[in-house]
Amino acid sequence: MLEQIIPQNSIDAVEKIISCNNKFVILSHKNPDGDALGSSLALYHYIKNRGKNVQVVLPNPYPDFLAWLPGADDVLLYENDREKVCEAVSGADAFFCLDFNTLSRIGDVGEVVAQSDAPKILVDHHPFPTDEFVVKISFPEACSTSELVYRLIEMLSGDVAVSYEMAQCVYTGMMTDTGAFAYASARKDIYLIIAALLDKGIDKDLIYRKVFYTYSMSRMRLMGYVMYRKLKVYKQFNAALLTLEHDELMRFYAVKGDTEGLVNQPLQIKGMRFSCFLREEQPGKINVSLRSVDDFPCNEVAAEFFNGGGHKNASGGELHCSMAEAVELFGKAIKKFRKQLTE
Ligand code: 5GP
Ligand code: MN
pTM of the model: 0.91
pLDDT band at 331 (very low <50, low <70, confident <90, very high): very high
**Ligand 1 lined by 316 (C-beta under 6 Å):** yes
Q: What pLDDT, in 10s, does the model give residues 112-160?
A: 999 999 999 999 999 999 999 999 999 999 999 999 999 999 999 999 9
pLDDT band at 254 (very low <50, low <70, confident <90, very high): confident
Q: Which atom of ligand 1 is nearest to the CA of 31?
A: 4
Nearest CA to ligand 1 atom 2: 289
Roughly how many angstroms between the first and final C-alpha of the chain, as a whole number?
A: 39
The one-character DSSP state at 154 is H
On the question of pLDDT at 257 being above 80, the answer is: no
Question: Ligand 1 mean position to 288 CA, how many Å?
Answer: 8
Question: Ligand 1 mean position to 169 CA, how many Å?
Answer: 21
Burial class (CB in 10 A: 0-12, 13-18, 19+), 31: middle
pLDDT value at residue 103: 94
The best mutation among 29, 37, 315 to test binding of ligand 1, ranked by most ligand atoms within 8 Å of the C-beta, falls on 315
pLDDT value at residue 260: 87
Domain boundaries in the chain? 8-211, 217-342
pLDDT value at residue 255: 80
**Ligand 1 lined by 34 (C-beta under 6 Å):** no
Question: Ligand 2 mean position to 331 CA, how many Å?
Answer: 28
**What class has domain 8-211?**
alpha beta
What are the DSSP E strand ranges found in 109-195?
120-124, 135-138
Please give the CATH topology (third level) of the domain spanning 217-342: Diaminopimelate Epimerase; Chain A, domain 1 (3.10.310)
Q: Which protein residues have a CB closer than 5 Å to ligand 2 (ion)?
A: 35, 99, 144-145, 177
Q: How far apart are CA 316 and CA 29, in angstroms?
A: 13
**Ligand 1 lined by 311 (C-beta under 6 Å):** yes
Question: Ligand 2 mean position to 146 CA, how many Å?
Answer: 7
